[in-house]
């Protein structure tokens, strides 16, 4: 049975899409995120690093997850696998930067952001594995069948089955 890596990746991308959608909604609705870690999520969401050039990083994540999902829904070709790899690499790197900021600048961990970081890490590893192992190349064509063995270069193959029996009876 073939491992359904693309389906697993699609499921992860949809989960990430849900997380990024939730974070984008709470940003624009100006409501507090549901967080079991106390005020950590609020501290991260209201930090200077929660926006990049005025654009909420939650919205950037949402756009990224839409791109990843679209690349996984597109026909499975080398170009789409490369697009998935590129998108997940960018998401993984940016998520790593934001996690660094959470740990060493904000001194708080948002569990929603951490879950997105884990999802992007899994997606990136899966995309890299998929790109390296899956190939569009079908390989060389099968060699033509060997000619039947006969009594000479121009010999016809002997008849087989019932037709051979009838031929012998007539002679």
Domains of the chain: 5-133 (1.20.1440.130)
CA-to-CA distance for 154 and 159, rounded, in angstroms?
Answer: 15
**Where is average pLDDT lowest: 1-5, 38-42, 83-87?**
1-5
How confident is the model over 144-156, as pLDDT tens digits? 778 777 665 555 5
**Cα distance between residue 124 and residue 70, in whole Å:** 15
What is the C-alpha to C-alpha distance for residues 65 and 17, in angstroms, rounded to an integer? 5
Among the residue ranges 4-13, 47-56, 98-107, 156-165, the one predicted with the least confidence is 156-165
User: Which letter, b or e, does each residue of 143-154 get, where b requires 16 or more Cβ atoms within 10 Å of its Cβ?
Assistant: eeeeeeeeeeee
User: Using a CB cutoff of 8 Å and minimum separation of 24, what contacts does 78-85 make?
Assistant: 78/135, 78/136, 81/127, 81/130, 81/131, 81/134, 82/131, 84/9, 84/127, 84/130, 84/131, 85/124, 85/127, 85/128, 85/130, 85/131
Partners of 52 in beta bridges? 55
Kindly state the DSSP code that residue 152 receives in the 8-state scheme.
S
CB of 115 closer than 8 Å to CB of 65: no
| Location of structure tokens 């899409």 | 17
Summarised one tens digit per residue, pLDDT across range 10-46 is 999 999 999 999 999 999 999 999 988 778 999 999 9
Q: What would the two tokens of residue 134 be? A: 């899956």
Residue-wise pLDDT tens digits, 96-108:
999 999 999 999 9
């Amino acid at each position: 049975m073939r491992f359904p890596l693309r389906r697993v990746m699609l499921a992860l991308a949809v989960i990430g899409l849900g997380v990024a959608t939730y974070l984008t909604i709470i940003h624009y609705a100006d409501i507090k995120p549901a967080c079991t870690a106390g005020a950590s999520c609020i501290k991260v969401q209201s930090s200077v690093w929660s926006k990049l050039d005025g654009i909420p990083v939650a919205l950037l994540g949402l756009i990224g997850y839409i791109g990843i999902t679209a690349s996984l829904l597109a026909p499975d070709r080398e170009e789409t696998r490369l697009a998935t790899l590129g998108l997940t690499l960018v998401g993984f790197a940016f998520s790593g930067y934001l996690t660094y900021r959470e740990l060493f600048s904000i001194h708080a961990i948002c569990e929603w952001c951490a879950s997105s970081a884990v999802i992007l890490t899994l997606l990136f590893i899966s995309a890299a594995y998929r790109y390296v192992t899956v190939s569009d190349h079908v390989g060389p064509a099968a060699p033509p069948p060997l000619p039947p063995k006969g009594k000479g270069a121009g010999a016809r193959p002997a008849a087989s089955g019932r037709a051979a029996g009838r031929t012998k009876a007539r002679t």
